[in-house]
Amino acid sequence: MIVIFSHGKESGPWGSKIKALALIAKKHGFSVDSIDYSNISSPDHRADHLLQVIKGIDEDIVLVGSSMGGYVSLVTSETVKVKAMFLLAPALYMDDYEKKVYHSSCQYIEVVHGWSDDIIPVEHSIKFSKDANCTLHLISGDHRLNSSIKTVSKLFENFLIKTLEP
């Protein structure tokens, strides 16, 4: 099983949050990859790029997306079967993004959002989680969630353990 990370608009493929979560995934026997979108500004073009990457993979896929990467992961999961998704402060229902309605076929989704996020309104994750009937973790922290990395790491580890269950 592979975990594929999609970073946010202004971060990179191996920022501190992704590095920390990748270590947890490796500890549990997952292979990991983090896509570099730094030269692609459009969220929908990023989703097209992720789709092309995933098409060549023949093992179960877990998508992890942060901010714009959450949108990218979710939009991609509407086209390709993924086993699970872990979305961190996903940039959903944004005015300048193409999609505003989401229909993922992924059966196991967890969302983490910081109460103090001043970039993506927490209400967007509440709406999505209610519509998708998925688990939502509202935690202390801002958009980057760096101050809450211990909490995010524990939530991610629990998520991966559940993902491994038959």
Residue 78, pLDDT score: 95
Mapping DSSP onto H, E and C, the string for 69-107 reads HHHHHHHHCCCCCCCEEEEECCCCCCCCCCCCCCCCCCC
**Mean pLDDT of the 137-146 span:** 94
Q: How many domains does the chain have?
A: 1
6: helix, coil or strand? strand
pTM: 0.96
Residue with tokens 């269950």: 165
Query: Looking at the predicted structure, is the pLDDT value of residue 47 above 80?
Result: yes
Between 103 and 166, name the one with better pLDDT: 103
pLDDT, tens digit, for every residue of 57-99?
999 999 999 999 999 999 999 999 999 999 999 999 999 899 9
Query: Looking at the predicted structure, is the pLDDT value of residue 165 above 90?
Result: no
d(CA 81, CA 130): 21
| Strand intervals (E) in 58-119 | 61-66, 84-88, 109-114
- The CATH number of residue 28's host domain is 3.40.50.1820
Identify the band that residue 50 occupies on the pLDDT scale cut at 50, 70 and 90.
very high
Range of the domain at 28: 2-164
Return the structure tokens found at 52. Answer: 């092309």
Q: What is the mean pLDDT of the chain?
A: 95
Identify the band that residue 11 occupies on the pLDDT scale cut at 50, 70 and 90.
confident
Return the structure tokens found at 76. Answer: 């991609």
What's the one-letter identity of residue 142? D
Return the structure tokens found at 101. Answer: 């309605």
